[in-house]
């Protein structure tokens, strides 16, 4: 059975500076670029951009994003609204191409995999309150910083791009299930053999809904190629997740959840929805212990509101880059601690939960057990 690796990444930008596309200044020397293939169900605007409105027709693009060298890993640096951008300091667009249809998109993606000698695709999906540029640039940052093998693909669903647009975004997430399924099928059609899915925040809900839809339809080749799923700070009701997992049947493996028991954004989401814990901020993982899931609590590495720790924290970025064999590592030694990297200690609470802690906190962790 061939599989595809899809990485779904959802980026919440509520508390960060807002970003828009900006071009590389003419004659500037670009040190590094990331090619991001994009499928979107956002409606095209008059100026050729893509905003918050929903489109019945999918559009396919490729962005070549210039990666600045003068920044820390995990940092997404936006160009100034006034003044000339600096290619050494700011994420900028070197080239943008709108394909004339899905056939051209598939052919270009197939050629990119051939040139890079890759048979895997990494599909990123953004989350709540994300503009088009913010999703594309965040994908470029993570794909570059994580040094992920495989070609980067991004699903840009129609978020309102506003901190006050939670209900609109939740409806758009549901609206976007078939669009995401279509994109996965396009990636499979381009010849990707492995796909890993990593989703952030509301994007995790979209990922689970789409996998459920594909499983119930029994007519998607792409589902068989999903080689793993990674959910980052998933904004997903726990009961809904359990129901989705039941309908999907056997979850893709490995299935990783990067959660944070101190995630303030998910705490607010739980309050707004009138429910209890979200999947991304569990205090106790016993409710999902029957699933083959590795739950990694990143609270010790909180950055800001704790809602995108993985994408913004250099230590977690390094850890994520070494997750290829994490499932085998836990199965080989699930009794206590597994040290994957210098400076990191993983503490296994039970069969499914792992507490990530800086090595300096090891004594504190032990004292709390």
- What is the full DSSP assignment across 46-88? TTS-EEEEEEEEEEEEEEEEEPPSSS-TT--PPPPSSS---TT
Nearest of 328, 348, 221, 235 to residue 281 by alpha carbon? 235
Q: What is the pLDDT of residue 73?
A: 81
How high is the pLDDT of residue 186? 96
State the pLDDT at residue 163. 81
pLDDT for position 33: 96
Residue 88 CA: distances (Å) to CA of 71, 139, 211, 351: 8, 18, 40, 45
The neighbouring-strand residues paired with 151 are 121
Q: Coil, strand, or helix at residue 151?
A: strand
SS3 at position 247: helix
Q: Which CATH number fits domain 33-367: 3.40.50.1820, 3.30.310.80, 3.40.50.10800, 3.40.50.2300?
A: 3.40.50.1820
pLDDT at 146: 79
**Residue 123 phi, psi dihedral angles, 5° rounding:** -105, 120
Q: What is the pLDDT along the chain (369 residues), one digit of tens a residue?
A: 445 544 444 433 334 457 889 999 999 999 999 999 999 999 998 666 899 999 999 999 999 999 999 998 888 899 888 889 999 999 999 999 999 999 999 999 999 999 999 898 989 989 888 999 999 998 998 888 878 778 999 999 999 988 888 899 999 999 999 999 999 999 999 999 988 887 888 999 999 999 999 999 887 789 999 988 888 888 888 889 999 999 999 998 878 888 776 655 555 555 555 566 778 777 777 888 888 888 877 766 655 544 455 555 555 565 555 543 344 444 444 334 344 443 444 444 444 566 655 544 433 433 343
Residue 16 contacts by C-beta under 8 Å, 6 or more apart in sequence?
76
What is the residue extent of each domain of the chain? 33-367
Interacting residues of 179 by C-beta distance below 8 A, sequence separation 6+? 39, 41, 58, 155, 157
Q: Element (H or E) spanning 178, and its range? A: helix 177-189
Q: Would you say 192 and 224 are in contact if contact means Cβ atoms under 8 Å apart?
A: no
Burial 145-154 (b: 16+ CB within 10 A, else e): bbebebbbbb
In terms of C-beta density within 10 A (0-12 exposed, 13-18 middle, 19 or more buried), how is residue 202 classed? buried
What is the per-residue pLDDT for 289? 80
Q: What is the pLDDT of residue 77?
A: 92
- Residues 319, 359: Cα–Cα separation, whole Å: 13
CB neighbours of residue 284 within 10 Å: 12
């Amino acid at each position: 059975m061939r599989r595809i690796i899809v990485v779904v990444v959802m980026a919440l930008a509520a508390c960060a500076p807002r970003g828009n596309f900006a071009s590389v200044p003419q004659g500037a020397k670009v040190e590094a670029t990331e090619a991001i293939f994009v499928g979107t169900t956002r409606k095209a605007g008059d100026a050729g951009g893509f905003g918050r409105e929903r489109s019945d027709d999918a559009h396919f693009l490729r962005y070549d994003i210039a990666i600045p060298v003068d920044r820390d890993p995990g940092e997404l640096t936006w160009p100034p609204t006034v003044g000339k951008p600096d290619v050494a300091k700011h994420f900028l667009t070197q080239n943008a191409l709108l394909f004339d249809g899905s056939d051209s998109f598939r052919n270009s993606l197939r050629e990119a995999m051939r040139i890079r000698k890759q048979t895997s695709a990494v599909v990123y999906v953004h989350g709540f309150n994300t503009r088009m540029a913010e999703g594309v640039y965040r994908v470029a940052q993570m794909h570059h910083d994580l040094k992920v093998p495989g070609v980067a693909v991004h699903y840009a669903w129609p978020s309102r791009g506003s901190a006050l647009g939670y209900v609109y975004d939740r409806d758009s997430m549901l609206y976007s299930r078939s669009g995401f399924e279509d994109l996965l099928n396009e990636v499979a059609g381009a010849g990707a053999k492995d796909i890993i899915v990593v989703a952030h925040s509301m994007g995790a809900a979209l990922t689970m809904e789409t996998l459920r839809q594909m499983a119930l339809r029994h007519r998607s080749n792409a589902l068989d190629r999903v080689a793993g799923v990674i959910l980052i700070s998933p904004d997903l009701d726990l009961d809904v997740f359990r129901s989705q997992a039941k309908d999907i049947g056997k979850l893709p493996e490995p299935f990783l959840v990067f959660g944070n028991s101190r995630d303030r954004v998910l705490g607010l989401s739980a309050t707004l929805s009138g429910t209890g814990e979200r999947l991304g901020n569990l205090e106790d993982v016993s409710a999902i212990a029957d699933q083959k899931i590795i739950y990694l609590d990143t609270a010790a590495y909180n950055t800001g509101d704790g809602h995108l720790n993985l994408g913004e924290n250099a230590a977690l970025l390094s850890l994520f880059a070494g997750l290829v064999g994490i499932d085998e590592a836990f199965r080989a030694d699930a009794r206590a601690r597994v040290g994957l990297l210098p400076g990191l200690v993983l503490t296994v609470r039970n069969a499914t939960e792992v507490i990530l802690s800086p090595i300096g906190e090891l004594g504190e962790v032990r004292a709390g057990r």
